[in-house]
Structure 1
Amino acid sequence: MDEMILKYQKINDQLKVTYDAQGSSVGIKGLFDGIYKMAISSRDATEEEIAQGAKVTIIAYDALIFITSPDVKITNITEEDLVKILNGNIRNWKQVGGPDAKINFINRDSSSGSYSSIKELVLEKILKNLEEAQFRKDSIIVKSNGEVIEKISLTPNSIGYISFGYARGAIEKGLHTLSINSIYPTKETIIKDKYDIKRKIIAITNNISEDQNTLDFINFILSPSGQDIIEEQGFIKVNTTENN
């Protein structure tokens, strides 16, 4: 979002735009508390938020990918085994073809849109019993994609999940990206729905109090220039997905 703001302010230097990365739920709450004019979210607005006046605009598509520390030495995992790692039923890498070592799971905090997405798109998809579709209690909690990458780089035998847009940063740290059911996350596999742990990135405004400046900024994000920035940052353009 920093790059988007920088480019926008070059063509609209009369308006100051700032971005506070606090997580989806915190941002949406801040929107309705009057702190923010707009919230960027990686989870859908809830029925309660819609009733409050949330207006949703899809600005990009994203996927969530699983990364490991280099010592794990596996490249692929089945969705079923992944779920067992997330809920704690598998706790040693040896159980999935890796080294004989305890699995350290790096998780996001519960206010994160990524946390909600993995719970819905992975745990609840496989485990129909919602009581079982819970993350293991001894997860190591961090607050951002960048912190996941940093923590995994410092923690032996670890696994966590990040936005596809941060894949480059993980590679630069020497971390490994897992294939799920032998499907590796790439732009092509995400667009064609072969890799299906994917989600929308949305801009949420308050339908009651939104102003023209905010709408103009959203329109810039959706413009060809804005969507080029979306793609440069590792996300999927809105029209790219819609046309495939």
Structure 2
Amino acid sequence: MFLARLMEESPECHAPSDEFNKTGIVICESDKVHKMVAMSFSKPGLHAVQHIVLCLPFSLRDHTVYLSRKPCSTCMTFLIQGSVSAVYYWPIAPEKKGDDSVVKEDSQQADCMLLGSPISSSVLLPTTSFETVKMIAKKTRCKGQPNSNFKSFSYQTEDVEKYHSLFNIGKDMCVKRMENALRCYDFLLECSQLEKKEPKENVHRHALQLCYFLAARSGKLW
């Protein structure tokens, strides 16, 4: 789920159109190992789900999908037709943009589609212990400050306040878990951050962050 969020923050990720938010996506096998098989993001004219379906040389059948936002009804159609096993997403502003009524209608349409399918779908917030994150950070030169204010929390908790009813989750518990998840996420990003010099280096910085997250996930971090 952290990787899905990171993919959305890629400098190469863009909203498919003015009607949708940009989105990151990670595909995993649905076994105990949970091997990652693909990562991608939305691009102009292509939603994240559409982009990954077009690029993958294999079917999404029985795979688990992680998204940085709740997928729109169109993307949910792709996922259902692809026979994925499960869909998980962050509880922030959904992929569909617009006024409240438009967003709510699209979200309900996506939920209705799921009712007639065997696919499970829900919010997922990483419950990683911050102590575990600090242990990972000890294996590298970490510039992160565990007690500093983290950048992601304020605007994403505003989304929780606004959209929690769309996700059928308790607001207070969600905010608490969001705080822990984003604290861990931002601290890990600080561990892998390059010195910012020129805008063109954003792609390289993101590549470093991605490699760091992949290593941290597998436990092979030197």
Q: What's the TM-score, normalizing by structure 1?
A: 0.24
Instruction: Indicate the structure whose relative CO is greater, using CA pairs within 8 Å and at least 6 residues apart.
Output: 1
Say which one has the larger Rg.
Answer: 1
Point out the structure with the larger strand share. Answer: 1
